[in-house]
Structure 1
Amino acid sequence: MADPSTETYAIVEASGQQFWLQPNRYYDLDRLQAGVDDTITLDNVLLVKDGKGTTLGQPYVKDATVELKVMDHRRGPKVIVYKMRPKKKTRRKNGHRQELTRVMVQAIKVGGTAIS
Structure 2
Amino acid sequence: MGTYAIIETGGQQLRVEPGRFYNIRHFASLISNELEQNTKILIYRVSMIRRNSDIEIGHPWLKGAVVKGRILHLYLEEKVTIYKMISKKKMRRKLGHRQKSTRFVVDSIFLNGEEIYE
TM-score between both structures, scaled by the size of structure 2: 0.87
Structure 2: segments with no counterpart, 5+ residues: none
Aligned counterparts of 2:49 and 2:26: Cα–Cα separation in 1: 24
State the Cα deviation string for residues 51-102 of structure 1 (Å, max 9, x = none). Answer: 1411111000110010111110111111111122232221111122110111
Structure 1: segments with no counterpart, 5+ residues: none
Question: 1:31: how far off?
Answer: 3.6
Contact residue 36 and residue 72 of structure 1 kept, 8 A? yes
- Who is 2:20 aligned against? 25
Contact residue 31 and residue 73 of structure 1 kept, 8 A? no
- Aligned positions of 1:1-116 closer than 5 A: 4=1, 7-32=2-27, 33=31, 34-116=35-117
Aligned counterparts of 1:8 and 1:87: Cα–Cα separation in 2: 59
Aligned counterparts of 2:94 and 2:18: Cα–Cα separation in 1: 40
- 1:62 aligned counterpart, secondary structure: coil
How many residue pairs match? The answer is: 111
Q: Which moved more, 1:24-33 or 1:58-67?
A: 24-33
What fraction of aligned residue pairs are identical, expressed as a percent? 35
- 1:19 aligned counterpart, secondary structure: strand
TM-score between both structures, scaled by the size of structure 1: 0.88
State the Cα deviation string for residues 32-64 of structure 1 (Å, max 9, x = none). Answer: 432211110000001111114111110001100
